[in-house]
Amino acid sequence: MIELSVMLMYIGFAVVGVLVSAVLCLLPGLHVYNVMGFAFLIYLAFLNEVQDHMYFIMFLVGLVVGYAILFTIPTIYLSAPDDSTVWIMYPSQKYLMHGKGHEAVLLTTIGGVVGILIMIIAIPLFMDQLKLIRQIIQPHMFWIIGAVVMFILMSEFPKDFDRGKSKLKKLWVGWTT
């Protein structure tokens, strides 16, 4: 069992990750994976001095969760579509176009926080079932992922109607273009 002080340190590093993401998500064009890459490079420089690697992992988890919830604010307010892209909009941007941007931010934040709370409650309750499902699915993950990739290739590519009359030809054209 993990000691309380270590658990509080883990939570502290996750909170630091959320706070760092709260500041960095306001910079347009900066994605969480870019920040994680730089953080990993800094972590590698101090790898020999680190006692518990879980602190860094908790920092990254906090970073991702913070970006997932907080990056919606600049997404809603700073990426408002113009007339040429009005048909390609997120639902939150439709709220913004109707003057309800604050409501979109509030609804998105509430949805994210409620989702996190449901996960915190549900995962411990269903841990045994999740372990069983993982044991059943793990040997077949190669085929499941392969089927998803094949579905994407066959349904999306190519968009031209006169190429690839059979499914095999569509797959070949989609794979090679």
Q: pLDDT for 25-57, tens place per residue?
A: 888 778 888 999 999 999 998 888 878 889 999
The CA–CA distances, whole Å, from 41 to 1, 34, 46, 139 equal 31, 11, 9, 33
**pLDDT band of 77, cuts 50, 70, 90:** confident
| Mean pLDDT confidence for 145-162 | 76
3-class state of residue 122 by DSSP: helix
Q: Does the pLDDT of residue 165 top 90, yes or no?
A: no
| Mean pLDDT confidence for 103-122 | 91
Q: What is the pLDDT of residue 107?
A: 92
CA distance 32 to 30: 7
Instruction: Pick the most confident of 21-30, 153-162, 164-173.
Output: 21-30
**pLDDT band of 172, cuts 50, 70, 90:** confident
- Arithmetic mean of pLDDT over the chain: 85
Hey, CA dihedral for 20, 23, 25, 30, is it positive or negative? negative
